[in-house]
Structure 1
Amino acid sequence: MALVELGRYDRNEAHLVVGRLDSEGIDAIAFDGNASIADGSWFLIPVRVMVDEDDLSRARQALAQPI
């Protein structure tokens, strides 16, 4: 299993993306969500959503579909 980056999102959107993928049966994780939270710059740092490389195409398709 190798993780690849699906995309970079603001902190809240990243967690919505992870939830959407989870509802489609695709494992995903948000990286960097708590980076620099102590100094208040966490709104400026994009959160990377990572998926297994075998799920990358399926994840992109899932996000392209309307809810």
Structure 2
Amino acid sequence: MVELGRFDRNLAHILVGRLESEGIAAIAFDAESLIGDGSWLLIPVRVMVDQDDLDAARAIVAA
């Protein structure tokens, strides 16, 4: 898996859903671990995709 980008927690989950609706497997890394320390609004969440899907995922994010 490679990093597509870093986004706020809510946007990261929206992007994962959008990518999966297009058949691209995606994971929001670190999203849940940030809630416990109260910094979930401050620290970006990494959205990860397979290397083979990176270009397609970037095109979806750009659109």
TM norm. shorter chain > 0.5: yes
TM-score by length of structure 2 reads 0.90
TM-score by length of structure 1 reads 0.86
Change (3 A) 1:23 1:40: same
Q: CA deviation at 1:43?
A: 1.1
Counterpart CA distance in 1 for 2:30 and 2:48 is 11
- Larger-Rg structure: 1
CA contact (8 A) 1:35 1:45 kept: no
Letter in 1 for 2:25: D
Percent identity between the two aligned chains: 68
Runs of 4+ aligned residues of structure 1 deviating over 4 Å after TM superposition are none
Corresponding residue number in structure 1 for 2:14: 16
What is the RMSD of the two structures over their aligned residues, measured on CA atoms? 1.0
Counterpart CA distance in 2 for 1:19 and 1:57 is 17
How many aligned positions are there? 63
Corresponding residue number in structure 1 for 2:51: 53
The Cα offsets for residues 28-58 of structure 1, whole Å up to 9 and x where unpaired, read as 0000102232221111111000000000001
